[in-house]
Chains A and B, each alone.
Chain A
Amino acid sequence: MSEERPVGIVLVSHSAEVAASVAGLAKGLAGGAATVPVVPAGGTEDGGLGTSSELIAAAAASADRGAGVAVLTDLGSAVLTVKALLAEGDELPDGTRLVDAPFLEGAVAAVVTAAAGADLDAVEAAAAEAYGYRKV
């Protein structure tokens, strides 16, 4: 996969601060990830806690460089809203995929992998593998 067309990453959290902070952390830890679009979609449109399909759709559109978009979510309505949008068919860019991964660790793995020029399958696999990182 060409490095000029990186996989986009969208981070959906109930909280705008959590989504933005995890995006910043993942980009920071990934070093040279400046070329990877990492777009947070946190909270509701009025700034409260919750999930906004408008913010998710806008984030996915802005993260899309033509190589697919990996969407990572935190809990509950974030997961269900992305699934419902994907089921709609025309709400999210072609090649958008909900990635089953832990939110923070998966985001770091996804951004690092996308920065290396990997394709969407590899980004998804790297993010999902983060479930296996043992801490003790």
Chain B
Amino acid sequence: MLDADFFRRWMTTAAASVDREAGRLTALDSAIGDADHGSNLQRGFTAVAAALAKEAPDTPGAVLTLAGRQLISTVGGASGPLYGTLLRRTGKALGDAAEVGEEQLAAALREGVDGVMKLGGAAPGDKTMIDALVPAVDALGSGFAAARTAAEEGARATTPLQARKGRASYLGERSVGHQDPGATSSALLIAALADTAEADGE
């Protein structure tokens, strides 16, 4: 079973990973976006880690809703409301249970991803974070490692796609040939989840 501490460590692992990869995310975003994805997420996840340390929420749902709220209010770009909605919806779906099972988490993440699709209007194949998140959630039933692999493959598979949502969609065909920064950061978030589970021996 996964408790609040597991979810806190997932978020701090994600914050460390975003910190480490911020330069790469911004480089991907300078090719087809406005070159702020890495620094925006870095600011957001730094605020998430600080808020979790300060408020120490005691259920998995409360950890994710607090994290989502921080992202909405601190990121400053479209990834803030999108990742914020992902974590908040997932957190709300987990309710106030003190511990949750992997199947519960998979179902809750599915609700979170549905919330992101509804908010942004993106579908699979639009060259967005959805292209990493949907395969990850689909694979989560087979374990955290499978979800990580699916998210990373999903992110890489955005390279030949033409963007149909967000700032990159203004580029039309010129968005082809670049890996999507949002799908890349989504794969980092899922990898952080798998790392956290592996550290636990799940």
Identify the A interface with B (CB < 8 A).
Answer: 44, 48, 50-54, 76-77, 80-81, 83-85, 87-88
Contacts and interface: CB of A to CB of B under 8 A. Distances in A.
A54 B81 contact: no
A128 B173 CA distance: 31
Given A76-B166, A76-B167, A77-B81, A84 B119 contact: yes
Centre residue among B76, B78, B82, B119 by max chain A CB count within 10 A: B76
Given A54-B73, A76-B167, A81-B72, A87 B80 contact: no
A83 B76 CA distance: 14
Given A76-B166, A80-B119, A83-B119, A48 B76 contact: yes
Interface residues of B, number: 20
B84 interface: yes
Given A53-B73, A80-B120, A81-B72, A87 B78 contact: no
A77 B76 contact: yes
Nearest to B115: A87
Interface string B64-89: 00000100110011111110110010
B76 A51 contact: yes
Interface string B110-121: 000001000110
Contacts of A84: 72, 80-81, 84-85, 119
Contacts of B69: 88
A76 B166 CA distance: 7
Nearest to B81: A84
